[in-house]
Amino acid sequence: MTPSARSCAPLRGCRYSAVRHLRRNLLVALPIAVIVGGFPGLALGLGFVEWTHHDAATTRNAAGTELVARVIAAYQHVPGAVVIDRGDGETVTFTQILKAEKVLGEQAAATLDGKTTVLVSRTGPPTFEKAPGTSCWRLLPRTSGQNLTDVGQPFLTHALTLPGIAIGAPRRTATGWAVTAVQDGTTVTFTVTHSMLLQSMVLVRSGQRAEVSIENLKRTPTLATPAPRC
């Protein structure tokens, strides 16, 4: 198994997309949790969520829904973000150039056992890969499962507006707010700053837990230049 292929394993088949990580974990049961939630008994749990009725599959608390809308609106003016996904011994760092809440360019660095694979898509397809221990960039075929797919898509905030997600009531925290959402047995808790920007997300499903942290940038990030080519 090549280093890059090994790095794919914890990423559930090399789905190198911050948005896809979140969407897949909201919609599908996974052997390894990837992004966002709360355990009963923890501060992130469901104990503080106020549902307006018992049908959690379709309930959206008005205040929670409004907060999600304000978060989406806030990203109209954020030039970039770093999304760090930690799980199963691997850390994947997505660096995204944003404009009007859409991803214009993306870089992903996946680190496993001290070895890092870097992928970059500066303006959309194609995606280039720099494997551990190499000094050149390889053009990935369009059929590769490692292609970055967020470019041209909305920032991951839009995953919180998917149909069927139950949104709980927000609660105050020291740095802003926390809101829990639930869909099909997956619990997602996200924290938001006073500036209405995402700070962290935690996902729990079937006892599996994973965390994502978000760093919101004040300047447009610089992505790697895929040169020289292999």
Residue 224 belongs to a domain: no
Per-residue exposure over 40-78, b if at least 16 CB sit within 10 Å of its own CB, e if not: eeeebbbebbebeeeebeebbbeebbebbeebbebbeeb
Q: Which residues contact 220 (CB under 8 A, 6 or more apart)?
A: 79, 80, 97
Domain that includes residue 35, residue range: 3-217
Flag whether pLDDT at 74 surpasses 90: yes
Residue 70 belongs to a domain: yes
Q: What is the average pLDDT score of the chain? A: 76
Residue 19 belongs to a domain: yes
Residue 223 belongs to a domain: no
Number of structural domains (the chain) is: 1
Note the pLDDT of residue 124.
78
Residue 91 belongs to a domain: yes
Residue 204 belongs to a domain: yes
The string of pLDDT tens digits covering residues 177-194 is 999 998 878 888 999 999
pLDDT confidence band for 143 (50 / 70 / 90): confident
Closest CA to 131 of 119, 113, 143: 119
CATH number at residue 55: 2.50.20
- Determine contact, residues 49/180, Cβ cutoff 8 Å: yes
pTM: 0.75
pLDDT confidence band for 147 (50 / 70 / 90): confident
Joined together, the tokens standing for residue 210 give 């994973």
CA-to-CA dists, residue 181 to 2, 45, 49, 64, angstroms:
38, 10, 9, 9
Residue 37 belongs to a domain: yes
The string of pLDDT tens digits covering residues 37-49 is 222 221 222 222 2
Residue 35 belongs to a domain: yes
Residue with the larger pLDDT of the pair 155 and 78:
78
